[in-house]
Structure 1
Amino acid sequence: MLSTRLKALKSVFTPNRWIGALTLLIGGVFLKPVILQIYHLFPQAAGQFTGWKDAISAFGLLTLPQVMLGFAIVLMSIGIFLRARVAWSFTLILLIAIGLFSFLLPTTLYHVGLLSVLDCLCLLWFWREFNQSSLAAGTLFALVSFTSLLLYALCGSLYLGDQFHPAINELSEALYFSTVSMSTVGFGDIVPVTPASRLFTVSIIILGITVFATSISAIIGPMIGGNLKRMIKGRISHAMRKNHIIIIGATPLARSVYTGLTERDETVTVVVPPGVSHDYPAEADVIVDDPSANKTLTAAGADKARYVLVLRNDDSDNAFIVLAAKEVVNAETRIIALVNSDKNLSKMKRVQPDIIFSLQTLASEMLLRKLSGEKMDNENLMDLLFQESH
């Protein structure tokens, strides 16, 4: 009971989940002072603002980057929960920025800086956990990047509004100029006329090109990469399915046999029935299909295999798979079938696999001989474990 509870807790508190929770906490704590400042200051000063520049100045120039960083890190925590590689890298950059903001600038957020350092160390330590490249994570990255850049462009153009010709005084004008600059269209109807405004415009253009390029790659990359990977893997696997060993099943025994064979540099193809979960590694040559179907066994290269190991938990399923395999394999291929229950041993012999082995028979015979004091040599052990069916 205790071990079951520990396993359940371990499955819940995986590294990506508690690191994601820590990242979300950092974002919330980092945003809290800004939200409270806006909440208390805006109702009092709303009537005193004569323009967007006064409003931005009232809240302080540091408010905008703090809001952007906090908002971005909160959204990135979702990607951390999803174990997304792009979220891992982007979160690491944001945490470094938040740490510098907390330690170097005159704020009282030193505890946030310490949490950011801790989060960075955790991300670096568990970097192997974040190996997913998904469309959702890419879309999230694109959304955060585009929103952050748009906020930067809007507030900057409103704050420097008098340094453009004609001047930018309205939010609609700032939105128009920001969009035109981010997309690098550049109609030229609003022109920066001072060095500061020109440098600001250049920064929008450079960041716009970067954001759009990385966003497209983050969204389109997983789609193209996933299809390409499946195509390449399928062709390579098909070419390697010759003089190999086929394992049918996803039982602990099948997984253990797979590990032992791959450690001996054997080429292995695994066939797993649909709807059955397995823990074979990502690089394994796995076919998910009905193992009792001739087309599945043909796709697995049963006609070119050295061995077909039928290792499912259900003896009736194993018998049907043996019958199907006998129609596909060549004369040199040997079919080895597992019998889980002694009462099915005679039935399995009727379908005539080349070798039958029963762990239950072996275990019971070894226990009986141990109790009676009889000795068992290796030859007797192998005869009990592997029985020729014909």
Structure 2
Amino acid sequence: MAVSRDRFARSQFVFGATLAVGLLSIATGIVNMSGPTRGPLAAYLPPMVVETAAFTGALTGFLIVLSAFGLRRGLRAAWYAVVVLLPVTALQGFVQASVYSYPLVAASVVAFLSALLAYDRYDRALRLSTTQWAAALALGGVLAYGTVGTYALREQFTNVETLLDAFYYTLVTASTVGYGDMLPASQVARVFALSVLVLGVASFGIALGALIGPAIEARFAAALGRMTQSQLESLDNHVIVAGYGDLTEPILEELRADGVAFLVVTPDQSLGDTLSNRGMNVLVADPSDEEAFDRGGLDRARAVVAATNDDGEDALAILTARQLRPDIHIVAAASERENEPKLKRAGADTVISPAVIGGRLLVRSALGDREAETVADEVLEND
């Protein structure tokens, strides 16, 4: 358990440090572009180099901020992006040669080293939908088509001389901005420009749909009391409560009182809505299904609790969780004493029978054993 808490603390520090570097890089770049306060290295660097570093530093900052939120979801791709971008932003801060850029260099080094030490925390694959892949390929293909074609026909365009000019023309045309500083000067160039315009508008529309679609889905999910996949992936070091029954409610109240993050997995939609309205994290799914544990972040969870009033369903959930993650700590509550060995064979580390424990304490108290009440009070106080 201590190892799990340590991994969680390290990942939170890496996220915070990386996010801070991204925001600092944006702020530093904007300040230095508007009127840099020269540091001791400014005299040794050309002004054009300093200005370019400031502009690109702001852009790098935006990329780092995006990557930081990918780190929060445990994405390996985000970790690779951060490991590449943090040295870049440190170099940009060094080249900007401003008194404001030195904290950026120091923060980048700290964030870079902390990310390296937390490498094992980021093991989730980046999952893009078919629509998102199609949007990325369509947009990239159109920009490549327009850039190469414009550069090949550069003699038939005004003010197009380099590949950067060609990319600039393609981007402003495909996005329908059209500044008018570069124009087709022949019929062939105009036909080509029309093709870039049509394909560009279509590809940008697909890309926007792929980006806005998940946001709309999130709003609907919130309205319906459901958690989105990104919200599920943000859970870390949490307890998965597999199923809901008569024995579950006190467990949920205790977890909330202790401030422990938890996720209830239940197949009952109406029950899920009720728990969501009470501010609880709920995943409407079968707790004995492998996909439910995968979506619920079993690989990041600290424990699994199976405590419904159906020992058979609990056994299936325990068996599934144990097969998916052999090292997870699993606690079960047996509604019947004879089922305790079965739940342990299914994979539970600890099996507690509340009815048996309560019955024994009641009998001991009825027979005049005053220690029974003391034991019960101690258990409640320790909790």
Rg comparison, structure with higher value: 1
TM-score (norm 2): 0.37
TM-score (norm 1): 0.37
